[in-house]
């Protein structure tokens, strides 16, 4: 038939393709229209499954985002409370230090007055 190797390979490929197609037609479980209908149903079901999964994932993301926002708000609130508490402690410490300094100044003045007298 064909004299070159490429021609032989192409002829073999063509014959193999035809044989495969013939076997597929002979062993097909249903006729073409029914098979196409089944493929449509399968595709539609998979599309619906994907849409449902997508919606579930979006809902999960929204829930996680909400939880994250609540946690962040809680951290901010806790931080404000902690800051307020630390601010109050610092304010008390400053007041105590002022009183101690005042007492020490009074002692110093007493010592100076005793030395002057």
**pLDDT, tens digit (0-9, with 9 covering 90-100), for 4-52:** 677 788 888 889 888 888 787 777 777 778 877 887 898 899 999 999 9
Helices (H), the chain: 5-27, 32-116
Long-range contacts of 53-57 (CB under 8 A, 24+ apart): none
Q: Are residues 24 and 42 in the same domain?
A: no
Q: Tokens 């998979």 correspond to what residue? A: 46
Q: Are residues 8 and 48 in the same domain?
A: no
Q: Are residues 46 and 98 in the same domain?
A: yes
Q: Are residues 111 and 69 in the same domain?
A: yes
Domain count of the chain? 2
105's tokens: 């100044």
Who has greater pLDDT, 74 or 38? 74
pLDDT on residue 3: 57
pLDDT on residue 111: 83
Domain holding 24, by residue range, is: 1-30
d(CA 30, CA 12) in angstroms, rounded, equals 29
Q: Are residues 46 and 22 in the same domain?
A: no
Query: Span 70-91, mean pLDDT?
Result: 88
Q: Are residues 46 and 80 in the same domain?
A: yes
Check if the beta carbon of residue 32 is closer than 8 Å to that of residue 26.
no
Q: Are residues 90 and 40 in the same domain?
A: yes
Q: Output DSSP code: residue 97.
A: H
pLDDT on residue 100: 92
d(CA 13, CA 6) in angstroms, rounded, equals 10
Local confidence band at 117 (pLDDT 50, 70, 90 cut-offs):
low
Q: Are residues 17 and 66 in the same domain?
A: no
Check if the beta carbon of residue 11 is closer than 8 Å to that of residue 1.
yes
Q: Measuring CA to CA, how many Å separate 29 from each of 24, 34, 41, 111?
A: 9, 10, 16, 115
Q: What is the distance in angstroms between the CA of the first residue and the CA of the last residue of the chain? A: 139
Q: Are residues 18 and 59 in the same domain?
A: no
What pTM value is reported for the model?
Answer: 0.45
């Amino acid at each position: 038939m064909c004299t070159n190797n490429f021609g032989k390979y192409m002829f073999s490929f063509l014959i193999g393709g035809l044989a495969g197609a013939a076997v597929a037609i002979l062993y097909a479980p249903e006729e073409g229209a029914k098979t196409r209908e089944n493929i449509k149903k399968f595709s539609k079901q998979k599309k619906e499954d994907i849409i449902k999964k997508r919606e579930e994932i979006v809902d999960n993301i929204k829930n996680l985002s909400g939880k994250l926002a609540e946690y962040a708000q809680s951290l901010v609130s806790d931080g404000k409370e902690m800051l307020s508490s630390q601010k109050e402690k610092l304010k008390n410490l400053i007041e105590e230090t002022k009183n101690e300094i005042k007492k020490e100044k009074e002692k110093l003045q007493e010592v100076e007055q005793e030395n002057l007298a």
